[in-house]
């Protein structure tokens, strides 16, 4: 079968994207392509893989182009995306990445939570992180995203040029402010004058990104071939819904993202809170409870009446009451729409995929909401259950004793919290400061111990019914 390839000239580079994966290719890249179609400008994207060559190896023979397949309730539609001009693999050629950054006007990132090399509970740079230590020892040849940004910004300052705007597209609250702080910390360790220049001149807008994009499978590659008649080694599958809310704070020119439907606002905070807590929080809850109850995907999980009632309970009783609605948004409508998105059977988003890296995700997805329930004098038993399910999941054994392939930077420490009685296990988890902070509320220990006991004795579905 003929391989997909580029049919129009590659656009000139305006953007460097760090951490090229399926999510950005199914979200940000499409907005940029539409912004250029609507309003012009040179905003071609150089994609950078910070670790492995897989994306480059699949995309290079297709000149960076790929198919985005929308999986809606009414069927599938395919779109040929050609806004990515080339893909670089940072460890193979750090100089090429720095050269691309040297001329970028906008740098976007999807490096996942752990790519920030920070301490999730405090938001500070983890100076003991091996990659950050390497960057401190050798700032000219960076390895982390923070190291690349810092080095490239230094080159811009040295050349008397303005900085590029740095736009984080990861699921972390205040992602721009966090990233700015981390870059300033690293720059401050290397050259305090550089840190002062970045602080004065740099722009790190925060943004909220949303689209459900499961990892591409072999079956998806075959489905795309059947749809387009071309072989594409790197298609992306996505739901119809998408949203991008961006803090309107750029250091220079930008693509006309508003023309593509992005919302440019003064303050992203209420949008981020809504999305991280309503969507990602319940995604994680359904991932752990769903996995333990044998659900392979999120749509399988919500097809189960007990888990469907459980997630609706989380929204109605434990999450929405402590949220502030963004302007013009109805939170109950938002939650209803989320349920419909989760139930879309065409999207096979594995619970195992979402369960990954829980130690980096829980603070912003679940623990903040738990804390606000405490402040309001409430005891969120449904959220306790989600955290307790994560504890069981990260033991590395499910409730029937079968092994779980736990992927998490703290996997060893999490697994070492077991075995033990529920109160002991809970105490060991709560001692992990990176996740729970220095002084977790004693009510959390009590709530988690009860939830863990319920899960271990009654199983996920009964335990879920009991909290409703």
Which one, 129 or 238, has the nearer CB to ligand CS2? Answer: 238
β-pair partners for 279 = none
What is d(CA 45, CA 107) in angstroms, rounded to the nearest whole number?
A: 9
Phi, psi of 96 (to 5 degrees): -65, -35
CA torsion, points 342, 288, 207, 129, in degrees to nearest 10? -160
* Chain residue at closest Cβ approach to ligand CS2: 283
Phi, psi of 268 (to 5 degrees): -85, -15
What is d(CA 236, CA 376) in angstroms, rounded to the nearest whole number?
A: 42
Neighbours of 442 (CB within 10 A): 9
Strands 243-247 and 207-210: antiparallel
Closest CA to 57 of 87, 82, 83, 85: 87
What is d(CA 419, CA 92) in angstroms, rounded to the nearest whole number?
A: 42
Please report, as residue ranges, which positions from 266 to 285 form the binding site for ligand CS2 (by CB under 6 A): 279-280, 283
CB of 32 to ligand CS2, least distance (A): 17
Which one, 187 or 295, has the nearer CB to ligand CS2? Answer: 295
CB of 239 to ligand CS2, least distance (A): 9
Residues 6+ apart with CB under 8 A from 138: none
CB of 358 to ligand CS2, least distance (A): 9
CB of 332 to ligand CS2, least distance (A): 20
Which one, 39 or 353, has the nearer CB to ligand CS2? Answer: 353
Residue 56 DSSP label = H
Burial letters 224-245, b for 16+ CB under 10 A, else e: bbebbebbbbbbbbbbbebebb
Which one, 284 or 449, has the nearer CB to ligand CS2? Answer: 284
Please report, as residue ranges, which positions from 336 to 365 form the binding site for ligand CS2 (by CB under 6 A): 353-354
Which one, 103 or 112, has the nearer CB to ligand CS2? Answer: 112
Query: Does residue 239 interact with ligand CS2 by CB under 6 A?
Result: no
Which one, 208 or 306, has the nearer CB to ligand CS2? Answer: 208
Reported as type and span, the H/E element at residue 409 is none
CB of 282 to ligand CS2, least distance (A): 9
Phi, psi of 144 (to 5 degrees): -90, 165
CB of 5 to ligand CS2, least distance (A): 29
Out of 212, 320, 406, 455, the only residue in the binding site for ligand CS2 (CB under 6 A) is 212
Which one, 89 or 383, has the nearer CB to ligand CS2? Answer: 383
What is d(CA 183, CA 301) in angstroms, rounded to the nearest whole number?
A: 39
Please report, as residue ranges, which positions from 152 to 211 form the binding site for ligand CS2 (by CB under 6 A): 171, 210-211
Beta strands in 11-98 (DSSP E): 13-18, 44-49, 66-72, 75-81, 84-89
Which one, 148 or 288, has the nearer CB to ligand CS2? Answer: 288
Which one, 183 or 245, has the nearer CB to ligand CS2? Answer: 245
CB of 212 to ligand CS2, least distance (A): 5
Count of residues near ligand CS2 by CB under 6 A = 9
Residue 192: asked if its preceding bond is cis (omega within 30°), the reply is: no
Binding site for ligand CS2 (CB under 6 A): 171, 210-212, 279-280, 283, 353-354
């Amino acid at each position: 079968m003929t391989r997909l390839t580029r049919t129009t000239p590659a656009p000139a580079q305006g953007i460097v994207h760090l951490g090229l994966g399926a999510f950005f290719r199914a979200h940000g890249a499409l907005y940029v392509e539409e912004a250029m179609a609507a309003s012009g400008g040179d905003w071609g994207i150089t994609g950078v893989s910070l670790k492995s060559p897989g994306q480059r190896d699949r995309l290079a023979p297709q000149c960076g182009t790929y198919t985005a397949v929308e999986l809606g309730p009414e069927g599938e539609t395919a779109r040929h995306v050609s806004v990515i001009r080339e893909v670089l693999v940072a460890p193979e050629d750090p100089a090429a990445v720095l050269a691309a950054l040297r001329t970028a006007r906008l740098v976007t990132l999807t490096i996942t939570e752990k790519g920030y090399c920070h301490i999730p509970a405090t938001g500070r740079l983890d100076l003991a992180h091996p990659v950050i230590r390497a960057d401190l020892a050798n700032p000219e040849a960076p390895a982390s995203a923070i190291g690349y940004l810092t080095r490239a910004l230094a080159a811009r300052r040295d050349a008397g040029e303005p900085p590029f705007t740095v736009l984080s597209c990861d699921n972390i609250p205040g992602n721009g402010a966090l990233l700015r702080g981390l870059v300033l910390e690293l720059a401050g360790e290397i050259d305090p004058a550089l840190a002062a220049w970045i602080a004065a001149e740099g722009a790190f807008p925060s943004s909220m990104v949303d689209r459900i994009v499961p990892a591409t499978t072999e079956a998806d590659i075959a489905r795309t071939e059947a749809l387009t008649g071309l072989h594409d080694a790197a298609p992306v599958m996505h739901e119809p819904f998408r949203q991008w809310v961006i803090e309107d704070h750029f250091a220079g020119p930008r693509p006309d993202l508003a023309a593509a439907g992005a919302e440019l606002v003064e303050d992203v905070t209420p949008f981020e809170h809504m999305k991280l807590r309503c969507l990602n929080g319940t995604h994680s809850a359904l991932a752990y409870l769903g996995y333990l109850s044998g659900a392979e995907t999120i749509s399988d999980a919500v097809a189960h009446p007990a888990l469907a009632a459980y997630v609706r309970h989380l929204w109605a009783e434990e999450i929405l009451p402590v949220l502030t609605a963004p302007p013009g948004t109805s939170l109950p409508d938002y939650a209803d729409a989320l349920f419909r998105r989760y139930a879309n059977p065409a999207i096979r988003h594995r619970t195992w995929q979402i369960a990954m890296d829980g130690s980096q995700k829980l603070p912003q997805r679940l623990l903040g909401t738990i804390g606000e329930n405490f402040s309001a004098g409430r005891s969120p038993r449904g959220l306790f259950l989600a955290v307790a399910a994560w504890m069981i999941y990260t033991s590395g054994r499910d409730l029937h004793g079968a092994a779980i392939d736990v992927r998490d930077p703290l996997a060893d420490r999490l697994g070492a919290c077991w075995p033990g009685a529920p109160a002991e296990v809970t105490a060991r988890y709560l001692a992990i400061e990176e996740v729970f902070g220095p002084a977790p509320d004693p009510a959390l220990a009590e709530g988690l111990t009860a939830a863990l006991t319920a899960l271990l004795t009654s199983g996920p579905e009964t335990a879920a019914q009991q909290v409703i």
